[in-house]
Amino acid sequence: MPLSKQITGALAGLALAAAAAPALAEGFPDGPIEVINNSKPGGGSDIFLRFATERAGEILGGDFLHLSKTGGVATNTLKYAAGKPADGQTLFIVNAGTALTMMRGTVDLTRDDIIPLVRGTVDPEFVVVKAGRFADAAEFIDYVQNNSVKQAGTKVGGNPHVSALIFRNALEMQNQVYVPFEKSGEIIINVINGNVDVALLNFDEFESQAKAGQVEALAILTPERSANSPDIPTGHEVGMPVDIEVVRGIGVLKGTPEPVIAKLEAALIQSMNSEGYLEYLAGSGQDARSIAGREVFGAQFDRMYDGYQAVAKELMGG
């Protein structure tokens, strides 16, 4: 075929694709959009997804159907999503559990198979100890580098466990014993009673006990201090050079048409900038800065994924 005809054909194909793009977006959604969560109904991730999508149905002119697929951290969530068409009709939670599950190879999906679409929360972790147990952060660091340390968290192999291992490596702990509990309330009780030495907690998980003088936060593990606790120094200020945050977002399968992706991204960001969602964020000391689109969230998820590689291998016995 002559080159001129090849070029003409290629240009015609591009023109057809461009003409089809608005039609794809205009016809979306085609029925309810499923939102797949990896926690039980009423769990933190489930609540996030419901608040994040509260206005999106109205914006898109469709309904959202929330489904919980628990088991294997995010294994059942990702297996379910993998069996769905890449058409934007299925969204799923994207968080640390998503990264860990893909790294373990328990699902067919890999990092290249998903698009982290929007970020909804960036909830920082605080280093929480019994009030008065340590004179300051320096004494705490000296203690954990020279003694066996009991660190509280939740499920073994989950995100809190991974965070604990990252924290251990950053502080060069010689002997960390990870002690799992069911809920943050149990963790707080055991910190207060001295049964464990330290826990990494979100602000709302220890705020009441801190006000009562039972526990204290030695540092917030972020680059900057928080507006809701400006007197608590960052880890970088006190010799704990590590950032650990609970990040939650929403993803879609790679291969979803770009016009559909763009429409979903815009609708979800608009939904999360509503009064109801911003009030939800404020409950954990966050604000609109936690909300981000796919460019920012995708880059952050890549950093998270890379940062978890070493400890994920340890968790898998590698």
pLDDT tens digits, 204-259: 899 999 999 999 999 999 888 888 889 999 999 999 999 888 899 999 999 999 99
Predicted confidence at residue 158, as pLDDT, reads 75
Specify the length of the chain in residues. Answer: 318
Predicted confidence at residue 114, as pLDDT, reads 97
Predicted confidence at residue 96, as pLDDT, reads 86
Predicted confidence at residue 18, as pLDDT, reads 44
In the predicted model, is pLDDT for residue 152 greater than 60? yes
List of residues 6+ apart from 81 with CB closer than 8 A: 36, 90, 92, 109, 253
Predicted confidence at residue 159, as pLDDT, reads 78
**Element holding 269 (H helix, E strand):** helix 258-272
Predicted confidence at residue 317, as pLDDT, reads 57
**pLDDT tens figures, 2-39:** 545 544 554 455 444 444 445 556 789 999 999 999 98
Predicted confidence at residue 298, as pLDDT, reads 95
Report the predicted TM-score, pTM, of the whole model to 2 decimal places.
0.77
Sign of CA dihedral 169, 137, 245, 290: negative
**Angle of helix 96-104 relative to helix 159-171, nearest 10 degrees?**
90
Question: Given its phi and psi angles, is residue 105 left (phi above 0), alpha (psi -120 to 50 degrees) or beta?
Answer: left
Predicted confidence at residue 4, as pLDDT, reads 52
**pLDDT tens figures, 45-87:** 999 999 999 999 999 999 999 999 998 889 999 999 999 999 9
* Structural domains present in the chain: 31-122+247-315 (3.40.190.150), 126-243 (3.40.190.10)
Predicted confidence at residue 135, as pLDDT, reads 96
Predicted confidence at residue 100, as pLDDT, reads 85
Extract the tokens encoding 235: 């880890």
pLDDT band with cut points at 50, 70 and 90 for residue 316:
low
More reliable by pLDDT, 210 or 97:
210
Residue showing tokens 């999906």: 109
